[in-house]
Amino acid sequence: MKNKGFTLLELLVVIVILGILATFVGTRIMGKPEEARQTQTKIQIQSLESALNMYRLDNGDYPSTEQGLRALVEKPGTGTIPRKWRDGGYLDKPRVPRDPWDNEYAYLSPGMRNTNGFDLFSYGADGQPGGEGKDADIGNWESEGESNQQ
């Protein structure tokens, strides 16, 4: 009767091939953490943008700069008080998310770039206005699709 199994040599070859693949894939993924953070920021901005648009549909206007993004989770007590603020707020969680660098998102209404809407942005890795590469600002004026210039 013949043994039906793998030889030690075959197992070693498979392990070496898997090791090479893991190294290649790992360096490709691990070498781009800043790119992943930038992508996550763009996704969060789009999500917050949707919540702000729902707020506008309910209340006729976006929250003011003073009310800020907090108006999405807590009924504003200053400025123009929304009459039809949605119970439970406009976000899935009872807090406004922070950007992937653990900074608050900046919000201006009316916006400087989206003058008929709002500007929503992260200052990037350095947390300061401007910058290039990983330190570049990421804002809703860069997002594809729906524009806030309505």
56 within a domain of the structure (yes/no) = yes
48 lies in which domain range? Answer: 34-139
C-alpha torsion 10→15→17→20, nearest 10: -160
Q: Give the model confidence (pLDDT) of 4-39 as tens digits.
A: 666 777 778 888 888 888 877 766 666 678 888 888
Q: Give the model confidence (pLDDT) of 30-79 as tens digits.
A: 667 888 888 899 999 999 999 999 999 999 999 999 999 999 999 999 99
Tokens of 40: 């996550």
For range 120-141, the mean pLDDT: 91
Q: How many domains does the chain have?
A: 1
Q: Reply yes or no on whether the pLDDT at 147 is more than 70.
A: no
At residue 20, the pLDDT reads: 82
15 within a domain of the structure (yes/no) = no
Tokens of 127: 């947390």
123 within a domain of the structure (yes/no) = yes
At residue 13, the pLDDT reads: 82
At residue 55, the pLDDT reads: 95
23 within a domain of the structure (yes/no) = no
At residue 31, the pLDDT reads: 61
121 within a domain of the structure (yes/no) = yes
94 within a domain of the structure (yes/no) = yes
Angle (nearest 5°) at CA 50 between 29 and 69: 95
Report yes or no: 67 and 85 within 8 Å, Cβ to Cβ.
no
8 within a domain of the structure (yes/no) = no
Query: What CATH number should be reported for the domain holding residue 133?
Result: 3.30.700.10
17 within a domain of the structure (yes/no) = no
Q: Reply yes or no on whether the pLDDT at 104 is more than 90.
A: yes
